Amino acid sequence: MLFGGQLLTLGTSALLSVPAGIALGFITYKAQRSWYGDDRDSALIKGLIVALLTAIPTSLPGFLTIPSGIVGLVHLFRRNSSHE
């Protein structure tokens, strides 16, 4: 059931999802290093997570989107307040 889309398209969607995952993982790695000052390992882990989630041929549940964004904002505010 998880990979039902792959069966219907006979695997052709992987031709798009895998390269897109690689590209977004690389962009995430560079953004984390440049914009957020993450060390190499942290940025690499985040980039790999984005690449994996993008390459999986199914969507994430909508109920995870907003809570995940809120958790990210809390961490950002905590990081900014500790630098002051």
Mean pLDDT to the nearest integer, 18-28: 90
The pLDDT tens digits of the residues spanning 31-70 come to 999 998 999 999 999 999 999 888 776 665 666 677 878 8
What is the band of 29 on the pLDDT scale with cuts at 50, 70, 90? very high
pLDDT, position 1: 39
Share of the chain above pLDDT 70, in %: 71
CA distance readout (Å), 78 to 47, 57, 67, 73: 22, 34, 17, 9
Q: In this structure, what token pair is assigned to residue 34?
A: 């440049």
pLDDT, position 59: 62
Residue 25 neighbours by CB distance under 10 Å: 21
Domains of the chain, residue spans: 4-83
